[in-house]
Amino acid sequence: MKGHRQETVAEPLQQEVRAVFDPESVRADFPALAQTVHGRPLAYLDNAASSQTPQAVLDAMEHFYTRDRSNVHRGVHALSQRATLAYEAARETLAQYLGAASEREIVFVRGATEAINLVAWSFAAPRLAPGDEVLITHLEHHANIVPWQLVCEATGARLRVVPINDAGEVGLAEYERLLGPRTRIAAFAHISNALGTVLPVRKMTELARQRGVPTLVDGAQAVPHGPVDLRDLGCDFYVFSGHKMFGPTGIGVLWGRLNRLQGMRPYQGGGDMIASVSFEGTRFREPPHRFEAGTPAIAEAIGLGAAVEYLKGLDAEAVERYEAALLTTATEAVTALPGVRLVGSARERVGVLSFVMDGVHPHDIATILDQHGVAIRAGHHCAQPVMERFGVPATARASFAFYNTPGEVDALVAGLRQTVEIFA
């Protein structure tokens, strides 16, 4: 009928989700979300790559730079003392948020990538011999593949890979079969960055523990979507990056069981990680400091602590339900478009919508969407083996956070409709 307004795809979700969690209640906390791009309101749907930062984090970092800027652990003057207190308070905040037994189990690193490399060289390499095995899955980010390849090349160990099915899920039977007598460590994602698949990490860590195999979990995609209980998870190491959980870039966390960290040699040498130095030898400090050589990312650690405090102020259960509803709505709307196919259809999926469009390269999709103010990611997402498994060179990936709205799903779908028309 002339003049009839077509209902938008996200409209039925509006009242339902606001009864659970209202994203408008937090959007004002994120300054970057208020901008326009190419004359359109920004719809930031690239959260799996890097999330936006709340004002509380920016304020905490500005306070350090304008009031407390000084080095930590070294000075007796007031600024150094305040900086040290703020830096170590951030460590305590992370420990409490993750359910760590002690703040001594929290090592500040540059990100998940450095954390995995640290474990690979300081923990795994000394324990590997020719014929030993490192077990990972086909879902891994390059950061959880390449370090293990390098360590295997250096030690003569063998890299084993747990396959995935057509839905993008890890099979527990295959994983258990590959946990052999020569497996020295198993390393796997908590959530796939390319597909959003949630791995059965509790069962995987339990099966490894029954065989005496240490485990590392890459939690970079999990921590933005809710608290992680390390006591319940059962792994030996857990890693993540600050910039994906609404914190600064250049900072991340390696959590390790204290007995594991105490048995590891330093990854790097330098100032602050030593107890004493002479030309005859060096004694190292206890964890976590032995793994934090040199001047750390002080402002960034403080900012990450502020990000965690911000997340603690949200209703985690409501956020989880809201994000699930948003992802379901987006998935249904996008895959209803002609020629669009979902890549990865795991039964348990969080935060990520990865798809391809017949006859259109993902980079072209992302370029057209950018003109609509919609920011998505296009490429192999540092997960080329996943792309090869599904027979595609790349995917378009929309990824969601609690500040995304049903209206932004509408903007995504409108841009995709235009893409279909352009390439029809």
How far apart (Å, rounded) are the C-alpha atoms in residues 370 and 415? 9
pLDDT of residue 286: 94
Answer yes or no: are the C-beta atoms of 381 and 395 closer than 8 Å.
yes
> Measuring CA to CA, how many Å separate 136 from each of 142, 183, 213, 355?
11, 11, 13, 24
| Residue that has been written with the tokens 């509803």 in this structure | 325
Mean pLDDT by 10 residues, the chain (424 residues): 48 66 95 97 98 98 98 94 98 97 97 98 98 98 98 98 98 97 98 98 98 98 95 96 98 98 95 93 95 97 98 96 95 96 97 97 98 98 98 98 97 97 90
How far apart (Å, rounded) are the C-alpha atoms in residues 273 and 269? 7
How far apart (Å, rounded) are the C-alpha atoms in residues 86 and 68? 9
What sign results for the dihedral spanned by CA atoms 149, 169, 164, 213? positive
Structure confidence by residue, pLDDT tens digits, 124-172: 999 999 999 999 999 999 999 999 999 999 999 999 999 999 999 999 9
CATH topology for 57-312 is Aspartate Aminotransferase; domain 2 (3.40.640)
* Tokens of residue 46, six digits: 């690239």
- Go through 291-327 and write b for each residue having 16 or more CB atoms within 10 A of its CB, e for each that does not: bbbeebbbbbbbbbbbbbbbbeeeeeeebbebbbbbb
Q: Kindly list the catalytic residues.
A: 382
CATH 3.90.1150.10 domain range(s) in the chain: 11-51+315-423
User: Apex CA 190: angle with CA 229 and CA 242, to 5°?
Assistant: 75
Per-residue DSSP letters for 256-303? E-HHHHHT---SS--TTSEEEEETTEEEEPPTTGGG--SS--HHHHHH
pLDDT of residue 373: 98
Give the right CATH number for 11-51+315-423 from 3.90.1150.10, 3.40.1280.10, 3.40.50.2300, 3.30.420.280.
3.90.1150.10
CATH 3.40.640.10 domain range(s) in the chain: 57-312
Answer yes or no: are the C-beta atoms of 266 and 122 closer than 8 Å.
yes
* β-sheet with 377-379: strand ranges across: 340-342, 352-357, 395-399, 377-379
How far apart (Å, rounded) are the C-alpha atoms in residues 337 and 410? 13
Q: How far is CA 324 from the centre of its chain?
A: 17
